[in-house]
Amino acid sequence: MTASDMDGRLGEEFFTPGTASFTDFLAAHRPELLPTRRPFPDGVRAEPGRFPHGTTVLALAYRDGVLIAGDRRATMGNLIAQRDLEKVHPADDHTAVAFAGSVGLALDMVKLYQVELTHFEKIEGIPMTLNAKARRLAGMIRQNLGQAMQGLAVVPLLTGYDGAAPDGEKGRIFSFDVAGGLYEKTDFHAEGSGSPYARGALKKLFHKGMDRREAALAALQALYDAADDDSATGGPDINRRIYPIVSVITEEGFERLSEPETEALSREMVEQRRSRPDGPTAAP
């Protein structure tokens, strides 16, 4: 502890010129606080099934913006580690991030990313563009490559409302790989172990110009299909009243659908499955 820490004064590092990146600031002055630091010596890998792992998240563009959703289950190997995990978080007023992968690292990365965007806006006086937000998150994931190679990967899904985009294209979706590769997706996407089944459902149900209710039901149907075929994905738990998290981002900003609304839509979807277990067919 330095003298400035003891008497409440800011240390010299706070007056050292640098970038508007809070992550770069930590890397230069307090690297031990970064969630991307390696937890194990080189050559050591995390034992499979010993750390909570989150699945399945998805996003789809709709008429007013973009919707992002996730199931609530975390697993450790063949065990259910948590039934009510929150995998969808606002990053700022018009951006949201969801994650699949190592839960502890993912939650820390989300918090750091939230601070990163706020810090940039305070330093520069303007918010980042959506493209810059995606590139900044890609850089953070790239810093985590060492941990990913040790078996502790984080795979986020980023969505945002881009007011500068043409009408009909303002809801944007970005995916990443564990090395920080950045890919913009059109219309919809999903990540996590249940993502192949969720994407298959969305491919069947998605259409241009969906309203909020249609988009939310399509997301719930896709998560239900993922849970039906992937044991690591949790469907709506009506007995415990645990339902997927569904959020939207529009011109007005980020909004998480209320618990009563999500419950009503989930119950409606489950009731539809009683007469059609395989789910709705594609629109003609």
Residue 11 · residue 2 · CB < 8 Å: yes
- Give 29-47 pLDDT, tens digit per residue: 666 666 666 565 665 555 5
Q: Give how far Cα 114 sits from Cα of 60, 136, 155, 194, Å.
A: 22, 11, 16, 26
State how far the Cα of 104 lies from the Cα of 106, in Å rounded to an integer.
Answer: 5
One-letter identity of residue 106: A
Whole-structure pTM value: 0.85
Tens digit of each residue's pLDDT (9 = 90 or more) over 238-276: 999 999 999 999 999 999 999 999 999 999 999 999 999
**What are the catalytic residues?**
55
List pLDDT tens digits, range 90-103.
Answer: 999 999 999 999 89
In whole angstroms, give the CA distance from residue 44 to residue 142: 19
Q: Where are the beta strands (DSSP E) in the chain?
A: 53-54, 57-62, 65-70, 74-76, 79-82, 88-92, 95-102, 154-161, 171-176, 182-185, 188-191, 245-250, 253-256
pLDDT of residue 74: 94
